[in-house]
A and B are shown apart, each in its own frame.
Chain A
Amino acid sequence: MNPPLRDEPGAPLLRMRGVCKRFDNVVALSGVALEVGRGEVHAICGENGAGKSTLMKILSGVYTPDDGEIHFDGELVRIGGLAHAQALGIVMIHQELNLVPHLNVAENIFLGREPRRGWFVDRERQREDARACLQRLGVDISPDAQVDTLSIAQQQMVEIAKALSMQARLLIMDEPTSSLGEADSMRMLKVVQDLKREGVGILYISHRLDELDHIVDRVTVLRDGQYIRTLDWAATSIDEIVSLMVGRELNQQFPPATRQPGTEVLLKVSSLAREGAFGPVDFELRRGEILGFAGLVGAGRTEVARAIFGADLPDAGEVEFGGQRLRIRSPRDAIAAGIAYVSEDRKAHGLAVKMSVAHNITLANLAEVAGGLGFIDAARERQTAQHFIDKLGIRTPSPEQIVRLLSGGNQQKVVIAKWLFRQARLIIFDEPTRGIDVGARYAIYALMDQLAAQGVGVIMISSDLPEIMGLTDRVAVFRQGRVAGILDTRRCSQQDIMHLASVAATEATMPPAAALALS
């Protein structure tokens, strides 16, 4: 499955074939092919986790591929590191900017490559060279301005100027407009077109499919780390790309639903908002229901969940839980009310990884295993831990095992056990199967279904559409901090969700059958 060769003179700027990358037995990329010509803008499309960033990191020298070849400028290369990639002329502009805020623009552009005069930095030349780079971009930024005084858009431009100063021949742009407003986005796209005219190859990653229209020549679609297809932009449509992106059928094993969502509303969120993050957001969750939160990374799903849990406080809005208005000022309040949050980043937010399985399971409910004076009943604690280890099938040599040494799936089960022991009535799962192998996923899905069957309300944030389709009763689709629509899972398709999530609101066409009005 090679991308079609273009009838250009000479070899393309970049050509990759059969590129593979594994992390601890998890296949991140397999057999990926890619070709970028001089002066071509080539978009990479794929869902979260499709392997886009792994691919970019291979090109920019952060990762070395396990297999496959990369030809750059007609020559077979082994990119040995960031410096090597830059020497070749491959420069990546990261989504999160990598500038040093306290240095000025010129110093940032030439960081690590300062022009010298004797032992000293040739500041005059540095300033002039920086000015030249900025002029080439046609932007009006002083080389002497301190970077933290610049707007995000200007910083983005400085990053590009930096890339130009390295004589970039292939520029990799990861979501370059994600943090820009309309006007700045347009300028950005104009710069891209200028660079294209100068013969720079550009790899462009963006979730905003509509903006690709102005600039892109070809599109390569990745899915689950696999190369799917390369298309000429002129000969394709957003619909086709979306269907290729989500193309996976429901081939994963999902447990049969045993739950019967009730009618009683368990959680009612009204006009919840936090400035700069999300809102206003409205939705309801019934007892025994699994509600999916779909959307792109950065759409505000996690932020909403954290606000309900009290991890970050909202600015406005109301949360009603079990018929009562909640005043949540900290996770303690939420936990006391019966709300639990299983974070997407287990190691950072979910587990005390240096502590044992037993100690993690009881952490949120220590009082339950402690007697008078706060002395922990070691026997009772061990018993409790063993009970959940058996119940959830946590594979650990003993309850005393340090959590860090368990596999991802088992760590996740430890987090879930913690909240089961706390007898939570609402559990919010944030990307519950991220980094967990397929086998262990089934058990976690089954567990979520069981919880719902027992009347627990479940919210599942997931970027994995098949998972949303296979497990949820309804799905709230987030886009740019708001709920773009709530769909009945049985009556909508992955394409419907993807559309709602990635296409601007005016263009969103929700199939009437799929739209579910909430009263």
Chain B
Amino acid sequence: MNDRQKDLIQKFAALAGLLLLTLAFSLTSDAFFSVGNAMTVSLQVTSIVYLGIGATFVILTGGIDLSVGSVLALSGVVAGLLTKAGLPVSAAMSLGILVGALCGVVNGLLVTRLKLPPFIATLGMMLVARGVALQLTDARAVSGLGDAFGVLGNGALWRIEEIDAQGFPNVVFPGIPYPVILMVVLAIVAGLLLRRTTLGRHIHAVGSNGEAARLSGVHVDRVTMFAYIVSGALAGLCGCVLMSRLVTAQPNEGVMYELDAIAAAVIGGTSLIGGVGTISGTLIGAFVIGILRNGLNMNGVSSFTQQIIIGGVILFTVWIDQLRNRR
């Protein structure tokens, strides 16, 4: 059996696990298998996917980004404060995302120039970004941002409503939430970039063997920087979407989200040593986590028990992955 076949089997195993979960929850809970709930799960999963895509880029290069949970809070807060200050929502959010990208630039510089271990560099950024977010807001939520701020997080495409006989609106189709559309677009773009472009190839090469890549003329530092910038910018986007959904900028938002992102990538078959991983895998991983949470909720499982189960799933999938990689 060659590696490619093994990869396929692993991917199908994850996919099969996902389908199995769906089936099990459909049987145990009536409300689970419905268009409405599918949209709910998708919406809940979006933030894990945004961050998971970033995590996949970074982990592919052999790094790790622990700062995304804090960076998303900082970006969201910046977007919120700028909106409050009178900037148009689109400009405010763009600047929020830019702040996220800048955090990525700093992470990248710490890793490539100062040669800090990625774990430490992004751990530092995790504390700094959270601290700045809390400082900017005095640790208070920023509310009263206006309806326009909530469109990105709460709007939906192709929402169909009917006015019934009594004159009340009746939802025929809940529509596809904007965050879900964004997720699909991002996943496709990121997937193409990683699989089809020279940049994507270089990202794999850096993670597979950085020294060989350097000796083949790859700009290892630039490629690494790019990965951290993508991760930072996606964290920024994630922050804007989350705050928009709440129509409030919350400096405490996103705590521990980095772990969900890393878990999604790892469940999806991304190797923490670098060089191996796919966006489709990360998508599957994110949905495994999302469906587990949603399904367990519907079955009345406490959030504490959920943590135990998700932790177990992560350990199990990584163990499977180790088995696969053992020669």
Report which A residues bind B (CB closer than 8 A). Answer: 309, 311, 330-332, 335-336, 341, 343, 347-355, 359, 362-364, 366-367, 370, 373-376, 378, 397, 400-402, 405, 418
Contact = CB atoms under 8 A, between A and B. Distances in A.
B218 A363 contact: yes
Contacts of B212: 348-352
Interface of B: 2-4, 192, 196-199, 201-202, 204-205, 208-209, 211-219, 275-276
A359 B201 contact: yes
A354 B276 contact: yes
Contacts of A359: 201, 204-205
A168 B215 CA distance: 44
B2 A331 contact: no
Contact of A353 (B202, B208, B217): B208
B215 A309 contact: yes
Contacts of A370: 197-198
A332 B219 contact: yes
A375 B191 CA distance: 12
B interface, by DSSP: helix, strand, loop or mixed?
helix
Q: Report which residue of A335, A349, A354, A370 has the largest number of chain B beta carbons within 10 angstroms of its beta carbon.
A: A354
Nearest to A370: B198
Contacts of A397: 2
Nearest to A356: B4
Given A352-B208, A355-B205, A374-B197, 4 more contacts: A348-B209, A352-B205, A352-B209, A359-B204
A375 B275 CA distance: 19
B217 A354 contact: no
Contact of B199 (A352, A362, A363, A374): A374
Contact of A348 (B211, B218, B276): B211
Contact of A354 (B192, B208, B211, B218): B208
Contact of B208 (A355, A378, A418): A355
Contacts of A376: 196-198, 201
A366 B198 CA distance: 6
Nearest to A352: B208
A341 B216 CA distance: 9
B204 A341 contact: no
Contacts of B219: 332
Given A355-B205, A355-B208, A375 B216 contact: no
Contact of B217 (A331, A349, A351): A331
A interface, by DSSP: helix, strand, loop or mixed?
helix
Contacts of B2: 397, 401-402, 405
A330 B220 CA distance: 11
A332 B214 CA distance: 8
A143 to B, nearest CB: 34
A375 B3 contact: no
A331 B215 contact: yes
Contacts of B217: 331-332, 335-336, 364
Contacts of A341: 215
B275 A354 contact: yes
A78 B197 CA distance: 56
Contacts of A330: 214
A497 B297 CA distance: 77
Contacts of B215: 309, 311, 331, 341, 343, 349-350
Contacts of A375: 192, 196-197
30 contacts: A311-B214, A335-B216, A335-B217, A336-B217, A341-B215, A347-B209, A349-B209, A349-B211, A349-B212, A351-B209, A352-B205, A352-B213, A354-B209, A354-B275, A354-B276, A355-B204, A355-B205, A363-B205, A364-B216, A366-B201, A366-B202, A367-B198, A370-B197, A374-B197, A375-B192, A375-B197, A376-B196, A397-B2, A400-B4, A405-B2
Nearest to B275: A354
Contact of B213 (A363, A400, A401): A363
B167 to A, nearest CB: 52
Shortest 4 CB-CB distances between A and B: which pairs?
A352-B208, A335-B217, A366-B198, A364-B216
Contacts of B214: 311, 330-331
Contacts of A331: 214-217
Nearest to A362: B201
A363 B2 CA distance: 22
Contacts of A367: 198
Q: Report which residue of A347, A352, A366, A418 has the largest number of chain B beta carbons within 10 angstroms of its beta carbon.
A: A352
A350 B198 CA distance: 19
A435 B86 CA distance: 69
A378 B201 CA distance: 12
Q: Report which residue of A343, A363, A364, A378 has the largest number of chain B beta carbons within 10 angstroms of its beta carbon.
A: A363
Contacts of B218: 363
Contacts of B216: 331, 335, 363-364, 418
Contacts of B3: 402, 405
Contacts of B196: 375-376, 378
A374 B201 CA distance: 10
Q: Report which residue of B204, B214, B217, B219 has the largest number of chain A beta carbons within 10 angstroms of its beta carbon.
A: B217
Contacts of A311: 214-215
A218 to B, nearest CB: 43
A450 B4 CA distance: 35
A354 B277 CA distance: 11
A258 B7 CA distance: 45
A76 B275 CA distance: 49
A343 B214 CA distance: 12
Q: Report which residue of A335, A353, A374 has the largest number of chain B beta carbons within 10 angstroms of its beta carbon.
A: A374
Contacts of A418: 216
A330 B213 CA distance: 12
A363 B197 contact: no
A345 B209 CA distance: 12
Q: Report which residue of B192, B216, B219 has the largest number of chain A beta carbons within 10 angstroms of its beta carbon.
A: B216
A405 B325 CA distance: 13
Contacts of A374: 197-199
